[in-house]
A and B are shown apart, each in its own frame.
Chain A
Amino acid sequence: MRLAVVESGDMAAEVFSFAARNQSHSVVQLRSIDQLLQPLPFSPAAVAVFDSGRPVIDARTIATVRQALPEAAMVVVSQADSFEHRAQLLRAGAHDVVRQPVDPFELLLKLSVWSARSNADESSELKVELSDLMVDAERYRATKNGQPLNLTPLELRILYCLAAHSPNLTPAERLLSFGWGMLEDPDTSLIRTHVCHIRRKLEKAGGKAFSIKSKHTLGYILTIEP
């Protein structure tokens, strides 16, 4: 399942993302709900929003997300106690609104069932093609100019993320989240070595020339050279 987790600094959300990855789901971790409306490495089939309560996520925000992701299964893990608030979020498009603490495995099961029912997980696969470059993050395959790229799993996830955002900038935070599964204390210097290896492997494969440019402190951009 392609899952987006809005973490809002909640440790329970971080543990939930960890549990989802352990069960082989593709996870993108986000700091705030607004990031759901920005380009992501994939179109999520399920969304788990952990509401930190600062500020409380309102029905209008949920309705905006529902409009942007009409098929996605969405659960809000709320700290608010009031029935009225829960009812508003449900009316705005959430599949469920649950209170902390949550069982991460039960939540994953619910999201899997709901996303399968809405066929949201079949709408697209984790595969990107750019000119003669193909990256399939689900099957761990990447080819360029018809040749396998022999990337490590981490390099493959980074290249997939770059290709999915191309020609736009991929934020460093997104690369860390998709590559390493970390949002907290991201150390962007980790990415540099791996990008360097990816550049070398792309060049070695021949064919269309690609460039991965660094935008200091922001992230990286993968583009096809003219």
Chain B
Amino acid sequence: MLALVVEDDQDYASIIEYTLKRGGHEVVVALTSSAALNFCRRKRPELVLLDVRLPDGSGYELCKALRQSNPDLPMLFLSSMDSPAAIVEGLQQGADDYLTKPFHPSELLARVSAIVRRSGRSAPGAERTARRIETSGFVVDLDECRAHYLGRDLQCTPTEIEILAELLSYPGEVLSYQFLTNKIWGYTNVHDSTMLKGHVSALRRKLREANVPDRLVQTVHNVGYTFMPEMDGE
């Protein structure tokens, strides 16, 4: 589930992001109200966590604007303002819940699950079981833990399948070593790509054996990897 965290305190933003990722969510952090609105114009978050005090406006106004454009969007305030008036105002502006800082990470995840459940959206686990990616001749089924290219089983390990699925999910975008390490293993403070490179090397060998053109999965030197889908007619 894609969660948007609107929080100007970077220390707090990082621990909220860490907690949500541990709960199986994808997270995007916006430091300002305008960055959050910009993001919502381009993508549709499935959950929003927002602070009340933001550098370029009030979280209440942001909440109201998001609620007007998306009546079903689950929203939760996460703020150090703990007066009943602040909580009431947050809920009146359209938030589904209000949690005060400091918070226990398990409570945050429980409240997020509850508001997502109430909104009728699927939990991250449920979403994952239905994940199947079909593009450019590849069929990757994360539920079955299988990957095929033009009907041929690639015989990949679960880690290789996850790496392939990530690459296929972002066609044309460069995925950094750190992004992939974080997505596959959940490590946020590892600045070493040796482990990832080993798995990508094994994945490439298997792709080559299945006659997948080398140009589909490309290395961006010192940055990461990218999946370049074939254009029609190629």
**A residues within 8 Å of B by Cβ?**
11-12, 14-15, 18-19, 21-23, 100-106, 152-155, 180-182, 187, 190, 193-194, 197
Cα-based distance from A89 to B93 in the complex (angstroms) = 44
Cα-based distance from A207 to B105 in the complex (angstroms) = 49
B101 A103 Cβ-Cβ under 8 A: yes
From A18, A22, A153, A193, B195 is in contact (CB under 8 Å) with A193
The stretch of B70-78, B130-138, B162-170, B186-194 that contacts the partner chain: B186-194
Supposing A19-B11, A22-B11, A181-B187 touch, asked if A101 and B104 sit within 8 A by C-beta, the answer is: yes
From A15, A154, A194, B15 is in contact (CB under 8 Å) with A15
* A residues in contact with B107, CB < 8 Å: 101
From A11, A181, A197, B189 is in contact (CB under 8 Å) with A181
Q: Is B233 an interface residue (CB 8 A)?
A: no
B14 A11 Cβ-Cβ under 8 A: no
Shortest CB-to-CB span from B76 to chain A, Å, is 16
Q: Is B106 an interface residue (CB 8 A)?
A: yes
A100 B14 Cβ-Cβ under 8 A: no
Shortest CB-to-CB span from A25 to chain B, Å, is 12
* B residues in contact with A187, CB < 8 Å: 185
* B residues in contact with A22, CB < 8 Å: 11, 14-15, 189
* A residues in contact with B104, CB < 8 Å: 11-12, 100-101
Interface residues of B in 1-32 (CB under 8 A from A): 11-12, 14-15, 18-19, 22
A197 B15 Cβ-Cβ under 8 A: no
Cα-based distance from A103 to B11 in the complex (angstroms) = 11
Shortest CB-to-CB span from B12 to chain A, Å, is 8
* A to B CB contacts below 8 Å, 10 in the list: A14-B22, A18-B14, A23-B11, A101-B102, A101-B103, A104-B15, A104-B102, A153-B192, A182-B187, A190-B195
* B residues in contact with A23, CB < 8 Å: 11
* B residues in contact with A106, CB < 8 Å: 102
From A18, A102, A153, A193, B191 is in contact (CB under 8 Å) with A153
Residue from B15, B101, B191 having most chain A Cβ neighbours under 10 A:
B15
Q: Is B120 an interface residue (CB 8 A)?
A: no
Q: Is B213 an interface residue (CB 8 A)?
A: no
A193 B194 Cβ-Cβ under 8 A: yes
Shortest CB-to-CB span from A156 to chain B, Å, is 10
* B residues in contact with A15, CB < 8 Å: 15, 18-19, 105
Cα-based distance from A86 to B138 in the complex (angstroms) = 60
Q: Is B198 an interface residue (CB 8 A)?
A: yes
B105 A11 Cβ-Cβ under 8 A: yes
B192 A152 Cβ-Cβ under 8 A: yes
Cα-based distance from A42 to B147 in the complex (angstroms) = 45
